[in-house]
Every structure is written in C-alpha cells, then in structure tokens.
Amino acid sequence: MDKQLWNKYKNSSEGRYFIDLFTDDEMMGIIYSAEICDTFCDENYDDTFTWQMIQNRINKDNFVPNKMNRDEFWKFICEFDLDHYCCVDFDENPILIDGDKYLMADELENKLYHIDSISIFLSTVNSFFKPLLYRKRVDITLRNSKILGIDLPPIPSSDDYKDLFLYYYDICEIWNEFQKKNSLTFEEFCGCLYGFATECYNQQQEDETVLPDPTNYWLIGCDGENNDYEKLEKFCSHKQNDFTCVCNEQIKQGDVILIYVTKPYYFIHFICRAKTDAIYTPFDKFKTRTILCKAKKISPIRFEDINNNECLMRNQAVSIKFKRKKCLQLTDNEYQEFMKILK
C-alpha cells in the first residue's frame, strides 16, 4: 500500500466519510441504508429484518463470545439460531414476536446467504471480524485486497458451508495482520478496503472497456419483481453505472446478451455485452453473475413475433412465453434469427 497516498486520502473529505461509516454509530446503517449500500454495490441490501433479529437476539441472550478461535467460530455458526422475529413500530422501536423461527441452527445455507449481516454484527462485538459487504460481488473484495497488497487465498471451489464460513474467518486473520502492520484502527482499515482501494482501482481504469469479440450469444431473463425493467432503462440511459445479472458459468467477457423481462411486458427489450467473465459468488444463492455494459434498448421482440419461427419456436424461453427467468445459450442461427426480426 502506498502510505503517502493513503495518508492523503484518509485526511480528505471522502476518506473521512468512508472511515466514519464504520464507527459504532454508523455501522447499523450500512446494512439497510440504500444510500450507503449504493456506495458499495449496485444492488441494495434487503436485510433489515435479519439485522434487527440478530441484534435483538444477541442483546437478549448475549450468546456471542468476545473471542473466538477458528473452531469456536465454526461452532458458533452451527449453533446460533434466532427464535424471535423482530419488526418495528412507527417510531422504529423494535417489537419482538415470540414463536416464529428464522435462521435456525441447522440452516447453514440460509446463514451463508446472510454473511453480510452476520459479519457486520460480529464486527461490532469484536473488531477481529470485518464487514464482508460484497456478498454478491466477492470478487470486488479480492480485487481491493490485491490493490492494497494483501494476498488472500482463493475462494474454496466447493459448496461446503464449513469451508466458506472458515474462509471468511481466515481472511479476517489476514486483514488483521495488514491492519496491525500499517498501524490502522478498525475504522481506518474498513475505509481503506472499501474506500481507498476502490478509488485506486477507479483511477487505473480506462473510460471505455475494450471488449474481445463475442464467444457466445445468450438469452437471459430478469426478474420483474425486483424492478429490473426500470433498472435496465436507467442503465441504458447511463443513469446507473453498472448492472449485474445472474448468468451461466460459461459466459465470457464480450459475449452478446439479449435480455427479456418477466414483468411487466414479457418480451425481449435490451441487448448488451458481458463486461466480465462469469463471476463466482459463493455467498449468494445464485452462484455466478456478470457485469453488463454497452446496453441498448431495442424494439420489443414479443412472444407472438417468434412463436411461429421454425428456428426459435423450440427455444426454452419461447416455450415458457418469457414468464420465468432463464439463462440460455443461443446458437449462431438463433441469434441471427433474432437480429432479422429486429431489422
């Protein structure tokens, strides 16, 4: 890490902003503040209830040890459960509802998908633990660490929950060594990882990514329930910097992607390129994602337009009338047929 650049950054207004985000007074806001989470990732977290439940259960039972070695951490992950569901009243005061179960002890998969919430809470109990904010884009965590000169081990390729939780513990150990070596406070380390390293990365990037020729063509469905159509429109009009979508693990940088939405219209309405190869995201139920770029809104291709097309009528997305999400590889002939319809 370039200490001269870091000292300049941490004393800047942006640097102070990022460092202050990780003080005790602000930590809770990270997990459910859309404004703050937009800073870190293009997809907002929706973990308000999970965070509140974890907070209220721990406040109630005080069941987190102040110190945990590797084995004790895994034992904690396996054994803790939340047996009170929490919501809030109009004054945002917590209301505990007895009887409901959520994040039960044996739900390791569900716990893994809430690693961001769990890591943030643990960091408020013991500064050994660091927030893992990029649950859906863990590649950013690896990238930022590398920029700082921190060598993290590769992510386990297995789906074993123990391996993945202990991977989080192991990178916390490595992060703490870096923090100690550079005489950083907890807040400064977090600001360095999520703010300073990102700023360094952005300064290294060219304005326009030069893409290779496409290897394959894809048809991907996006979820209408998550307002993907509106997000894609903003993305096409350059009002949103990045858009990530669930994808096939074989997608390569430069591939051409046609996108249909499951709501509100059920038709293909966007074409874009893959900015990255498929990104492995083990802490999310969708294991691979890609970043889109060069997006364009196209004339709608409706189910009725292709239902009688001999080449396209057997395509799976066509057979379900664009009403469910799929990620399908198109043959060269299928892609050319779509292009003919657009002309």
Written as one letter, the residue type at 105 is A
Give the pLDDT confidence of 129-144 residue by residue, as tens digits. 998 887 778 888 888 9
- d(CA 207, CA 195) in angstroms, rounded, equals 20
Closest CA to 132 of 241, 337, 282: 282
Side-chain half-sphere of 79: how many Cα atoms within 13 Å? 9
Q: List Cβ neighbours of 320 (8 Å cut-off, separation of 6 or more).
A: 326
Residue 313 phi/psi, 5-degree rounding, is -65, -20
Give the pLDDT confidence of 266-320 residue by residue, as tens digits. 778 888 899 889 888 888 777 888 888 888 888 887 777 777 777 776 766 666 5
- The tokens describing 153, both together, are 């081990």
Residue 205 phi/psi, 5-degree rounding, is -85, 145
DSSP-H helix ranges across the chain = 3-10, 13-21, 24-32, 34-40, 48-61, 70-79, 108-112, 115-125, 138-147, 161-181, 186-191, 197-204, 228-236, 303-306, 316-319, 332-342
In terms of DSSP bridges, do strands 256-261 and 217-222 run parallel, antiparallel, or are they unpaired? parallel
- Whether 109 and 282 have beta carbons less than 8 Å apart is answered as no
Residue ranges of the chain with per-residue pLDDT less than 50: 32-46, 49, 85, 99
In terms of DSSP bridges, do strands 243-246 and 82-88 run parallel, antiparallel, or are they unpaired? unpaired
- d(CA 125, CA 104) in angstroms, rounded, equals 21
CB atoms within 10 A of CB 26: 14
- d(CA 116, CA 130) in angstroms, rounded, equals 10
pLDDT of residue 66: 65
Domain with CATH 3.10.590.10 in the chain: 217-342
pLDDT of residue 34: 38
pLDDT of residue 206: 59
- d(CA 164, CA 155) in angstroms, rounded, equals 8
Residue 293 phi/psi, 5-degree rounding, is -150, 175
pLDDT of residue 319: 63
pTM of the predicted structure, to 2 decimals? 0.78
- d(CA 188, CA 196) in angstroms, rounded, equals 10
- d(CA 254, CA 230) in angstroms, rounded, equals 24
pLDDT of residue 38: 44
How far from the centroid of its chain's Cα atoms is residue 126's Cα? 24
pLDDT of residue 243: 76
Residue recorded with tokens 């198109």: 330
Torsion from C-alpha of 208, 213, 218, 223, nearest 10 degrees: 0
Closest CA to 191 of 9, 19, 14, 6: 19
- Whether 9 and 199 have beta carbons less than 8 Å apart is answered as yes
- d(CA 296, CA 294) in angstroms, rounded, equals 7
In CATH, which of 3.10.590.10, 3.40.50.1980, 3.30.300.130, 2.170.120.12 is domain 217-342? 3.10.590.10
CB atoms within 10 A of CB 324: 11
Written as one letter, the residue type at 213 is D
Burial 236-255 (b: 16+ CB within 10 A, else e): beeebeebbbbbbeebebbb
